[in-house]
Copies of this chain bind each other. A is one copy, B any other.
Amino acid sequence: EDTWSVADKTFTSRLLVGTGKYKDFEETAIAIEESGAEIVTVAVRRVNVSDPKAPMLTDFVSPKKYTYLPNTAGCYTAEDAVRTLRLAREAGGWDLVKLEVLSDDKYLWPNNVETLKAAETLIKEGFKVMVYTTDDPTMCKRFEEMGCVAVMPLGAPIGSGLGVRNPYTLKIIIEQANVPVLVDAGVGCASDAAIAMELGCEGVLMNTAIAGAQDPIRMARAMRRAVQAGRDSFLAGRMPKKLYATASSPLDGTFF
């Protein structure tokens, strides 16, 4: 069977999903179920801790069934991100976490300098850090060498739906990596997810592409199959590209 592992846990599904931006927790739960995801990320900042009567995500998406991956969405400094994840560990015992430190609230672009600082501290404190970053091969390598358990380069800016903008850099990142590479952010439709998987990465993480579709449940199903299809397409070894069928050698990319 085709599985992948991170931090000594093994998974079958290669689609990881966020839990934000849905109409309500019910829709969240159905969409996640339909997506086949085994790992869900949760913004620690958005978890309701103050009102004990309000509905809780955990009542709809059981932490017994899904691996919760607390994330630092909304954190713009290393300090803030570290504090947030310490809180998550105290509250729920989670130490497998998704670290993201953004630079601003317009482009939501990763701030690698702050992310590096946060990663260093968190790893020292025993966290297993899956790190969200740019599609920068050198930066990804550095995060791996620091001890991050997975690197999660972006396909395109968060919430942009632009798909995989630069397959070349992702290809280099995947070639170089000794930890799982997951494409995180940018996917907008099913073919985007398939393209990411065909590059050979271990998985794809998305949120808006599902929650922001007109029919999130149907899109969740589309994404489940697209990730499976992309994975199989990668493993099956695609036919060569040629300018025409009878060409004796594959297209060498010289002009296009």
Contacts and interface: CB of A to CB of B under 8 A. Distances in A.
A208 B113 CA distance: 31
Contact of A250 (B171, B231, B245, B252): B252
Integer count of this chain's copies in the complex: 4
A194 interface: yes
A116 interface: yes
Interface in A145-179: 156-162, 165-169, 171-172
Interface string A63-103: 00000000000000000000000000000000000000001
Nearest to A137: B109
B242 A190 contact: no
Contact of A240 (B112, B141, B190, B254): B254
Nearest to A160: B242
A199 to B, nearest CB: 7
A108 B244 CA distance: 8
A203 interface: no
A239 B113 contact: no
Contacts of A243: 157, 160, 162, 168, 171-172
A18 to B, nearest CB: 13
Contacts of A40: none
A159 B254 contact: no
Nearest to A199: B255
Contacts of A104: 138
Interface of A: 103-113, 116, 134, 136-139, 141-142, 156-162, 165-169, 171-172, 188-191, 193-195, 198-199, 208-209, 212-216, 218-219, 221-226, 228-233, 235-246, 250-256
Given A111-B138, A172-B243, A219-B238, 4 more contacts: A162-B243, A165-B166, A226-B229, A229-B229
